[in-house]
Structure 1
Amino acid sequence: MKFTKPLIKGKLIKRYKRFFTDVKIGKKIVTAHCPNTGSMKGLLDEGNEVFISKNDDPKRKLKYTLEIIKVKKKLVGVNTHFANKIAYHGLSNNLIKEVVNNDHIKPEVFFNKETRFDFLIEKDKQKIFVEVKNVTLFRDKKIAEFPDSVTSRGSKHLKTLIEALKKGYKSYLLFLVQIHGVNNFKIAKDIDKEYYENYLLAKKAGVKFLAYRCKISSKKIEIEKKLKILS
């Protein structure tokens, strides 16, 4: 996924009301849209270097969008709206080696009335659901973690992926790690014990879990490398 225009470098002042961030660019302070409604744990220290995009569409209330935060010398992609675009590019270009040479890739498909998954893939007459989770948490320089706060929605997706297995689908959950340079991934069970327990149930049932790291720059973000999932 390429940025259409060069990103603008600034310094984070604060994030507030979930959707707003104040950023200092030179001597000017601008308010940027924060397209990440999660806790963004560990990312929001004042003075962190950030990269924002600018959109001059007159219909937009905020012309700037927060895209990347630099934390502990690592670039972290925080725009959750891009997660599925990055994943789609990876699936379409065979960058995710467990799901390659697909016949069809359809985004945002309902499994039932309550739940839709990010992708439905058809390959050799087999139907595969892929759910994508954006990962921005790291408390160790080498280990990415998910979730960064309690996620009842995440637990619901795990249970529904098990239901999909029972109905003949293959089920994958892709942890898309938008953190430069980490080597491993694990579930943050101290943050959400219930999610960890549902993860173990889903794993035992046959849901396949994948973690892939992105290569991040101010020009583009794309899938780079598979990570080991630590137990």
Structure 2
Amino acid sequence: MRYPDVIKATFLSRPNRFVAQVEVEGKVTVAHVKNTGRCRELLVPGAAVFLQQHHNPSRKTPFSLIAVQKGELLINMDSQAPNQVWDEALADGLYIPELGVADTIHREVTWGHSRLDFLVECGKRSAYMEVKGVTLEENRVVRFPDAPTERGVKHLHTLMEINQSGGMAYVVFIVQMEGAQYFTPNADMHPAFAQTLREASEQGVKILAYECHVEPDGLKVTKPVPIRLLEKNNI
């Protein structure tokens, strides 16, 4: 996926979860933060950030903050990007373990009273998928979530119900950076999510993690990331 009209800026502060103060070419302005997570380890004063410039006079903010430089890592932090790049990867013929290559991709599908991100059909097989974006990193270990997510726990229970009913179910973690050593659930931040993810795996829900090639104006799924479900999170 590509973002048009991307410029570099400096992060100053985050008055609330939706807005960042940034400096662009010596002038202080505001940008919409396309991620409502905490992102405290990313959005630190003085950090280099990348903004998509909008040319819509009716917008409240002229820019959207889409990526941040963290040391040597460039991290995409657009919470809407993981679903789009996963859709593109499936459409480009990415092989999914135990499922195959997608023939048909459906977005925003319902199962019972829940809504999931994808229903993917591969020949006579099909699978429901829920996608989560990962931006939290320490020493090349990536974790999810960066804040408690009851919604995430609910999604895992829905995937387990699908599996118990005889269907196939996947949770896909899109790591919005390169060079991850492995993915592990953030048990210190949300123990219930980590425990439910382990239960989902034990019951047959498939867990995948993929890293991305990140550019200031683009994002693309590249390769799988190893998964460790039992590691203690020390963040």
Instruction: Determine if the alignment matches structure 1 residue 33 to structure 2 residue 35.
Output: no
SS of equivalent residue, structure 1 residue 83 = helix
Alignment check: 8 A CA contact 1:136 1:177 kept: yes
Q: Tell me the alpha carbon deviations over residues 171-194 of structure 1, each in whole angstroms, 9 at most, x when there is no partner.
A: 000000002322211111111111
Instruction: Determine if the alignment matches structure 1 residue 190 to structure 2 residue 191.
Output: no
- 1:205 maps to which of 203, 206, 210: 203
Alignment check: 8 A CA contact 1:8 1:51 kept: yes
Coordinate RMSD, CA, aligned? 1.3
Alignment check: 8 A CA contact 1:126 1:169 kept: no
Alignment check: 8 A CA contact 2:21 2:28 kept: yes
Give the corresponding residue for 1:56: 55
For 1:218 and 1:100, the matched residues in 2 are separated by: 31
Mapping for residues 145-184 of structure 1, pairs under 5 Å = 145-184=143-182
2:7 aligned partner, one-letter code: I
Give the deviation of 1:27 after TM superposition.
Answer: 1.1
Instruction: Determine if the alignment matches structure 1 residue 230 to structure 2 residue 206.
Output: no
Alignment check: 8 A CA contact 1:187 1:196 kept: yes
Figure out how many residues of one structure are paired with residues of the other and give that number.
228
Give the deviation of 1:168 after TM superposition.
Answer: 2.4
1:105 aligned partner, one-letter code: I
For 2:20 and 2:85, the matched residues in 1 are separated by: 24
- Per mean C-alpha deviation after superposition, the further-off stretch among 160-169 and 93-102 is 93-102
Mapping for residues 71-90 of structure 1, pairs under 5 Å = 71-90=70-89
Give the deviation of 1:123 after TM superposition.
Answer: 1.5
Give the corresponding residue for 1:116: 115
Instruction: Determine if the alignment matches structure 1 residue 135 to structure 2 residue 134.
Output: yes
Alignment check: 8 A CA contact 2:67 2:77 kept: yes
For 2:75 and 2:182, the matched residues in 1 are separated by: 15
For 2:217 and 2:186, the matched residues in 1 are separated by: 30
SS of equivalent residue, structure 2 residue 80 = helix
Alignment check: 8 A CA contact 2:95 2:101 kept: no
Alignment check: 8 A CA contact 1:184 1:229 kept: yes
For 1:3 and 1:20, the matched residues in 2 are separated by: 19
Alignment check: 8 A CA contact 1:42 1:139 kept: no
Give the deviation of 1:4 after TM superposition.
Answer: 2.5
- The sequence identity of aligned pairs, in percent, is 32
Alignment check: 8 A CA contact 1:90 1:96 kept: no
- Per mean C-alpha deviation after superposition, the further-off stretch among 92-101 and 104-113 is 92-101
Instruction: Determine if the alignment matches structure 1 residue 3 to structure 2 residue 3.
Output: yes
Give the deviation of 1:167 after TM superposition.
Answer: 2.1
Alignment check: 8 A CA contact 2:135 2:176 kept: yes
Q: Tell me the alpha carbon deviations over residues 201-226 of structure 1, each in whole angstroms, 9 at most, x when there is no partner.
A: 10010000001000000232000111
- TM-score normalised by structure 1 residue count: 0.94
For 2:80 and 2:228, the matched residues in 1 are separated by: 27
Give the deviation of 1:96 after TM superposition.
Answer: 4.8
